[in-house]
Structure 1
Amino acid sequence: MKTKFSPKKSFVILLGAALLVSLGLSSFRTVNRWGEAAFLLGKAFSFGYSDPKVADFESIFDGKSLEGWEYDPAFWTVKDGAIHGETSADNPLKANTFIIWKGGEVGDFELKMDYWISETGNSGVQYRSDRFTEVPYALRGYQADIDGGNRYTGQNYEERKRTTLAYRGQKTRITSQPDSITNLREFVERNAWKGLNLVEDLGDRAELGNLIKKGDWNSIHIVAQGNVLKHYVNGTLMSEVHDEDSKNRMLKGLMGMQMHVGPPMKIMFKNVQLKKM
C-alpha cells in the first residue's frame, strides 16, 4: 500500500529534516536540542502553513465599509457584507457609473470576486482603465462583462474605446486600426473591434453560458499578464485576449466595478481579492 502525503504533512516533514540538520543532532548527545526540535515541530502542526499561492492574494474590500473606494453614494452602499449597487425608477442612472478602487494603477495581476446580479442587470469588472473625465465616477478600458441575462458575461468588452475584443468562448488576437484612422469608433462595426481576429474557439457560447447561475452567486477571476487577458467564471475560461494593438492597449490602469444605464437593477460583489504579479 502506498503512503499518501498531503501538502501540510510534506511541509512538516521537510521542516523537521531542516531542524534536525540545523540543530546538529547527528551525535544525539543534547537532550535539550531534541526538546527544542519537538517544540518547533509542534508549532508547525498546531499552526499549519500558508500556501504562498493563496497568501499572495489580499482582500481589497473589508466587508463592512467602502473605505478605500471612490463612488457615488446615491447608488453604492454596503449590505450584508457585500458591495451593493442599485438603481430604481425613482433613482435612475443618467450615465454608467463605477465604484473605483483607490489603490492606484495595477499592471499584471489576478483579481477574484463573487458577484450577484438581477435579471435586468448590466455590469462588469473594470481594469487597466483610465478615467473618463466627462462623467463623474467613470472609467474607460478593459471590462470583464457581466449581465443578468448571461448573454455577455465573461466576454472582454473595452468600455468607451474599442468595444468587444472577445466574445464568450473566444481566444482572440487584437490588431491596430490603419494609420489613416484616428477616431477609434471608425474601426468599430456592430459593437466589435474590426481588429478582432479569432485564434481559437474555447467552447460553445451557449454551453459556457449554462455554467453561469442566474439569480445566484457566481465567481469571476481575471488574469492579466503582459498583453494576455483571461476571464474565468466559476472556474471556466470564458475568453482570452492577446492584445497586439500597441496603439490602444493598456498595460496598467485603474480598477473598479460598473453599473450600466438601463432598467432598474441590482448588483452585488463580495470576497474581492487581488494579487499583484
Structure 2
Amino acid sequence: MSTNIQSPIFILLALFLFSLQSCKENKTKNPEKHTEANKAEEDGFVQIFDGKTLEGWEGDPAYWSVKNGNLIGEVTPETLLENNTFIIWQGGQPADFELKLEFRIAESGNSGINYRSEKIDTIPHALRGYQADIDGKNTYTGQNYEEKKRTTLAYRGEKVIINSQENPDAAESLRANIKNNCWQSREVVGSLGESDSLKTKIKSGDWNKIHLIVKGNRMQHYVNDVLMSDVTDEDTVNRESKGHLGVQVHVGPPMTVAYRNIRLKNL
C-alpha cells in the first residue's frame, strides 16, 4: 500500500513526533530546572514571595523592600525603631504547616520568623506569638521565642514541654511565670546537642536554610537541616493553634536582613 506524504494524518504524526523530540531536548538542556519544578510540585510547597514585589505582604515600606530577588528588612540611622516591626503575609493564618526559606543577616542584626501570631492593634505592623529566632551573632538563632508573650520557650539545643497553666487569668499568668526573659513553666525533657556545638552549623554573614515543622502542639525549628529546638506546648491557656506569619526587624542598631525562597506547605 503506498503512502501519500501530503496526507493530513502523516502531517499530524510528523508534528507529534517533532514535539516529543523538542520536549526531550529541553529536558536534556535544562535538567536542573526541570527537576526543581517537579520537586516543588511533588513536595507540596508553594512560593509565597515572588522575588519581585511585596505583593501579598503588608509592612512599613520604610523598612521593607525587594532587591535582587530578596525580601530585605533594613533599619538605618535615620529609621531607628521604637518597636519591633514585621512584614506580614496576607495569604491566610496557617495552622499546621511546614515553612522553608533562606536568610542572611548582618552581624548587628536581630530578626525572626513569627507564626501562629496575632496582630497587636495598638502597634502598627506588630505581631505577638511564636517566633523562630534569628540574630547576626547566632546567640539566639534556632531557639523558640514567643514575641511579646511568654518569651523564651526553648533555647537552642533543647527539647521542651511547656506545662499547662492552672491560672485562668492569662495576663496574670504571663507576669508570674517570666524570669530573666524565659518562661518558667517549662520542662527540658531532652537534648538536641550543646548550644555552642549547634552554633557551628550556622553560617555567619552567609545564606542559611530554615525549616519549620509546626503540627498540633509541637514546633520544630531546623537550621541547615539540623534540629535546633523542639517544643511541645501543653499550655492550653496561652498557646495558639493558628495565626499570622511574618518576618521581623528588631529594635536596636542599624541592620539588614534578607530572606528568599519562602515556601509554605499546609499540612
Per the normalisation by structure 1, the TM-score is 0.81
SS of alignment partner, residue 175 of structure 2: helix
Q: What does residue 258 of structure 1 align with?
A: 248
The alignment status of 1:163 with 2:151, answered yes or no, reads: yes
1:257/1:52 Cα in 2 relative to 1: closer, same or farther (>3 Å)? closer
How is 1:155-194 mapped onto 2 (pairs within 5 angstroms)?
155-179=143-167, 182=170, 183=172, 184-194=174-184
Which residue identity is paired with 1:254? H
Q: What does residue 209 of structure 1 align with?
A: 199
SS of alignment partner, residue 185 of structure 1: helix
Question: Residue 98 of structure 1 is aligned with which of 83, 86, 103?
Answer: 86
The alignment status of 1:196 with 2:204, answered yes or no, reads: no
Q: What does residue 21 of structure 1 align with?
A: none
Q: CA deviation at 1:178?
A: 3.5
Which residue identity is paired with 1:265? M
Indicate if the aligned counterparts of 1:181 and 1:187 stay in contact, CA closer than 8 A: no
Q: Distance in 1 between matches of 2:88 and 2:229?
A: 24
Indicate if the aligned counterparts of 2:47 and 2:261 stay in contact, CA closer than 8 A: yes
The alignment status of 1:150 with 2:138, answered yes or no, reads: yes
Which residue identity is paired with 1:200? G
Identity of aligned residues (%): 51
Mind listing any 5+ residue stretches in structure 1 that lack a counterpart? Answer: 1-34
Q: CA deviation at 1:51?
A: 4.6
Indicate if the aligned counterparts of 2:168 and 2:237 stay in contact, CA closer than 8 A: no
Indicate if the aligned counterparts of 1:128 and 1:252 stay in contact, CA closer than 8 A: yes
Q: Distance in 2 between matches of 1:84 and 1:52?
A: 24
Indicate if the aligned counterparts of 2:130 and 2:147 stay in contact, CA closer than 8 A: yes
Question: Residue 223 of structure 2 is aligned with which of 233, 240, 246?
Answer: 233
Which residue identity is paired with 2:126? A
1:270/1:180 Cα in 2 relative to 1: closer, same or farther (>3 Å)? closer
Question: Residue 117 of structure 1 is aligned with which of 96, 99, 105?
Answer: 105
Q: CA deviation at 1:191?
A: 0.8
SS of alignment partner, residue 81 of structure 2: coil
Give the length in aligned residue pairs.
Answer: 238
SS of alignment partner, residue 261 of structure 1: coil
Per the normalisation by structure 2, the TM-score is 0.84
Indicate if the aligned counterparts of 2:165 and 2:236 stay in contact, CA closer than 8 A: no
SS of alignment partner, residue 261 of structure 2: strand
SS of alignment partner, residue 143 of structure 1: strand
